[in-house]
């Protein structure tokens, strides 16, 4: 195991059942390691704001894996700057609300389908964008704020 910060390992960022199944090499390239390290540092602040562990369900995605899971090509996951996660703190909406209330910095925070939370960071400028992903007519739409 490669430890990034006190509570997060590199393996938590790269593991993917889809990558395993399709034999996709989802290791983080050297040029993106600084981003993953930054994300781990930011996630420590998320964990602190929640007072509970967080479980990363999807972290870094190489372009091949990202395409397989239906991510947009420009996804922050492909840069090592975003994770999807859950926490025993509460529902995705409760988690998002707590992070906003606690003043945690992020570029983008998305309450995804009442199932998980997406959080993305920027190395330079965090925009504090809050969205809710929901299905409308079979298509995913992104609504402003927490719904």
Residues in contact with Zn ion by the rule CB under 5 A: 84, 118
- For the bound state, the minimum distance from the C-beta of residue 107 to Zn ion, rounded and expressed in Å, comes to 12
* CB nearer Zn ion, residue 79 or residue 118: 118
Q: Which is nearer to Zn ion, 3 or 129 (CB)?
A: 129
Nearest approach, Cβ of 74 to Zn ion (angstroms)? Answer: 12
Which CB atom, from 3 or from 113, has the smaller least distance to Zn ion? 113
111 close to 146: Cβ distance less than 8 angstroms: yes
Closest residue to Zn ion using C-beta atoms = 118
Report whether 78 contacts 122 (CB < 8 A): no
Are the C-beta atoms of residues 9 and 37 closer than 8 Å to each other? no
Minimum distance of Zn ion from residue 80's CB (angstroms): 12
Q: How far is the CB of 111 from Zn ion (least distance, A)?
A: 11
**1/140 with CB nearer Zn ion:** 140
CB of 78 to Zn ion, least distance (A): 11
Looking at the Cβ atoms of 44 and 112, the one nearer to Zn ion is 112
Residue entry with tokens 């389908």:
113
User: Tokens at residue 85, please?
Assistant: 């996660």
**Which residue is listed with tokens 């990202």?**
66
């Amino acid at each position: 195991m490669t430890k990034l910060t006190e509570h997060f390992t590199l393996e938590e960022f790269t593991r993917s059942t889809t990558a395993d199944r399709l034999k996709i090499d989802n290791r983080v390239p050297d040029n993106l390691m600084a981003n993953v390290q930054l994300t781990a540092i930011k996630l420590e602040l998320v964990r602190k704001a929640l007072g509970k562990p967080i479980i990363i369900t999807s972290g870094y995605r190489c372009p091949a894996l990202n395409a397989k899971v239906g991510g947009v090509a420009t996804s922050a996951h492909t840069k090592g700057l975003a994770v999807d996660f859950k926490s025993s703190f509460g529902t995705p909406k409760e988690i998002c609300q707590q992070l906003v209330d606690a003043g945690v910095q992020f570029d983008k925070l998305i309450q995804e389908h009442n199932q998980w939370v997406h959080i993305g960071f920027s190395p330079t400028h965090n925009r504090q964008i809050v969205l809710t992903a929901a299905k409308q007519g079979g298509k995913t739409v992104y609504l402003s704020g927490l719904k």
